[in-house]
A and B are shown apart, each in its own frame.
Chain A
């Protein structure tokens, strides 16, 4: 389950990214399911090669705790959903498209 993020990669469809105009923006991206994988490499410290010595004094119990706290504060924001301003923004851009294609 720890490698769900890898199994989510389905192909090698490449795309370019519009960036800020300086180096490194045209990076290539692999395809992935948009949903969050059930577990990332963070969930299983043992999967991380050669890192056990650098994981701090407290070992994997604390590392697991770090992972869950990190996700908890991140998910606090994620659970707020999509603020109205962004729904409106996309609607506005959509309407502009319609007007653009009509004229």
Chain B
């Protein structure tokens, strides 16, 4: 294989987002970086199957997710405590967005089932379309939509219990006045 400079640049350009996704899967920066490295090695070894000009980020995300899943299956016992590990990994991160609000949000995110968290991050943070997220996850578009909706509803539930006041009285009042609460 020969590494075309434009392909190499496209791979490098995708790395920051790939890391963010990997951290959201692993919940641990070091493991996430190892996963990204494995992904890059796998991708470059199979670069001939990448069609120049097509969607490099989605291609790399798919490889990374597949690698993570196969590792997940191998280490099922370890991963049964995935939520705990995830929360711990987040706590070990430096004071990134160390605001209380963000800590609560991270904790709530960590409590989501992995499938829902993954779908929410692909669509809500990585900026993939529902169709792309479905292709990355190897499932139907409707499945992604439903996972995203359930994830959002669950986060709203969790966050509303603990930090209603964080959203400010104006927001709460407006929500009630506007009748957007579904009671």
Contact = CB atoms under 8 A, between A and B. Distances in A.
Nearest to A19: B66
B8 A90 contact: yes
Nearest to A79: B16
A86 B37 contact: yes
A19 B129 contact: no
A34 B12 CA distance: 11
Contacts, number: 222
B125 A58 contact: no
A42 interface: yes
Interface string B105-127: 11001000000000011011111
Contacts of B175: 58-59, 61-62
**How big is the A interface, by class?**
35 or more
B14 A34 contact: yes
B87 interface: no
Contacts of B24: 74
Nearest to A10: B53
Which 10 A-B residue pairs are closest in the complex by CB-CB distance? A56-B156, A59-B180, A24-B138, A18-B46, A74-B125, A20-B70, A77-B20, A36-B127, A42-B124, A19-B66
A87 B12 contact: yes
Interface of A: 5-6, 8-9, 13-25, 27-32, 34, 36-37, 40-42, 48, 51, 53-63, 65-67, 69-83, 85-87, 89-90, 93-94, 97, 101
Q: For A51, A79, A87, which residue has the most chain B Cβ atoms within 10 angstroms?
A: A51
B152 A34 contact: no
Contacts of B36: 86
A61 B171 contact: yes
Nearest to A66: B155
Contact of A90 (B12, B45, B128): B12
21 contacts: A14-B51, A20-B67, A25-B138, A29-B59, A34-B13, A34-B56, A40-B123, A51-B149, A55-B153, A59-B178, A62-B159, A62-B167, A63-B156, A66-B105, A71-B124, A75-B20, A78-B17, A83-B33, A86-B12, A89-B40, A93-B3
Given A18-B43, A30-B135, A66-B152, 18 more contacts: A5-B132, A13-B53, A17-B59, A21-B70, A32-B132, A36-B126, A36-B127, A53-B182, A54-B149, A56-B155, A58-B167, A61-B175, A62-B171, A69-B101, A69-B105, A76-B97, A80-B16, A97-B3
Contact of B96 (A37, A40, A73): A73
B159 A66 contact: yes
